[in-house]
Amino acid sequence: MIIEGAHLVTVTGEEYPDGHVVVEGNRITAVGAGPAPARDGHEVVDARGCLLTPGFVNTHNHLYQWVTRGLAVDATLFEWLTTLYPVWAGIDEHAVHTGASGALARLALTGCTTSTDHHYVFPREGGDVFAAEIRAAQEVGLRFHPCRGSMDLGRKDGGLPPDHVVEDREAVLLASEAAIDRWHDPSPEAMLQVALAPCSPFSVTGDLMRESAELARRRGVRLHTHLAETLDEEDFCRERFGCSPLDYVEGLGWTGADVWFAHSVHLDDPAVKRVGATRTGVAHCPSSNARLGAGIARTRDLRDAGARVGLGVDGAASNEAGSLLEEVRHAVLFARAVGGPTALTVRDGLELATMGGARVLGRETDLGSIEVGKLADLAVWRLDGLGHADVADPVAALVLGSPPPLDLLLVNGRPVVEHDRVVTVDTDSIARECARVHRTLLEKAS
């Protein structure tokens, strides 16, 4: 395939107002200005009037929450969690597959080609919910990094989750290793890689955090958890452990280039420096943090300190839009709201969604930019309509303007979206089933 005529943003610094990309199989084989030099045997996509960017990388989500949207809409994080835990306790394979299908299809329509997921609710009668979300990603066609999450600190032991939704520590570790054995693909072209992800300091014991880190490093997979999302979490850690959330997890082996935290909103100056010095990653989730009133992460400071920072939509129960493009806009605007107009540029925002996310997941060699040899995960945005045609800077049109139509989304060289429509799954039937599952879960919880 040849895509030509677009304003091409490589994210490595080069931009071509009339550029081309050549895709052979699942790899990019040529990038440059003007039309492609050789056309024989290639499908040619006329992308005049469009912006061509790398596909976006979503570094934090809870896909099953797509079928539990619109609840506790004016609550704090801890209030929201205690409202939702009884609903989530009713999920099963079908609910997770349905919710993941809806969330992933929506992500695709907003430019996402690679998504993580942090799944930590495993009801005893729910079946293989981890396999269910993997099947959904394979059907939609996105590159997928599911994180085998866990909770073993129930309410009776001082944690936040109800006791009936937590697991036994040994069972978690066995299931985590089994997930790596069954699903993890370490190859450079992997469509599926697994990480281990104990949920948070207020829902997981220190023993499970420590042993999960040891298991992940022994097996060569990455580590993920929630950290420093709210002041409630800060208070919990200081009361229970006598230290900050970062102090606590750092003592358990949870910093380094193979670790990334979701949120990291409440970090003081020394904590920001430690996250950066250890090259720990951060999934910045501006919409969810705003929805729950958690605060605004120090994105500029974290980047300047050396942290690897990407974007995440978070679960759709705390971000009903589920749009990764919206996170780009919000990341830029929220940073400027507290740090001035140069806190994040529009190209910084695009970089967070692409190379930033690829670095967080350890995939920067193959994803995140438009370069020869990289995987063909590409997004073509149409900017010649009323909402964008007269915006002088195409990147500003994408980041600051209204969401444009997505003309084409390639994942691993294959179309997932064409002319603003997902072509791999039937989104209308998924929407109907999402509504049905939502009603069923509420009835089970009542």
The tens-digit pLDDT sequence of the chain (446 residues) is: 999 999 999 999 999 999 999 999 999 999 999 999 888 888 999 999 999 999 999 999 999 999 999 999 999 998 999 899 999 999 999 999 999 999 999 999 999 999 999 999 999 899 999 999 999 999 999 999 999 999 999 989 988 888 888 999 999 999 999 999 999 999 999 999 999 999 999 999 999 999 999 999 999 999 999 999 999 999 999 999 999 999 999 999 999 999 999 999 999 999 999 999 999 999 999 999 999 999 999 999 999 999 999 999 999 999 999 999 999 999 999 999 999 999 999 999 999 999 999 999 999 999 999 999 999 999 999 999 999 999 999 999 999 999 999 999 999 999 999 999 999 999 999 999 999 999 999 999 98
- Has this prediction a pTM greater than 0.95? yes
Convert the chain into a string of H (helix), E (strand) and C (coil): CEEEEEEEECCCCCEEEEEEEEEECCEEEEEEECCCCCCCCCCEEECCCEEEEECEEECCCCHHHHHHCCCCCCCCHHHHHHHHHHHHCCCCHHHHHHHHHHHHHHHHHCCEEEEEEEECCCCCCCCCHHHHHHHHHHHHCCEEEEEEEECCCCHHHCCCCCHHHCCCHHHHHHHHHHHHHHHCCCCCCCCECCEEEECCCCCCCHHHHHHHHHHHHHHCCEEEEEECCCHHHHHHHHHHHCCCHHHHHHCCCCCCCCEEEEECCCCCHHHHHHHHHCCCEEEECHHHHHHCCCCCCCHHHHHHHCCEEEECCCCCCCCCCCCHHHHHHHHHHHHHHHHCCCCCCHHHHHHHHHHHHHHHCCCCCCCCCCCCCCECCEEEEECCCCCCCCCCCHHHHHHHCCCCCEEEEEECCEEEEECCEECCCCHHHHHHHHHHHHHHHHHHHC
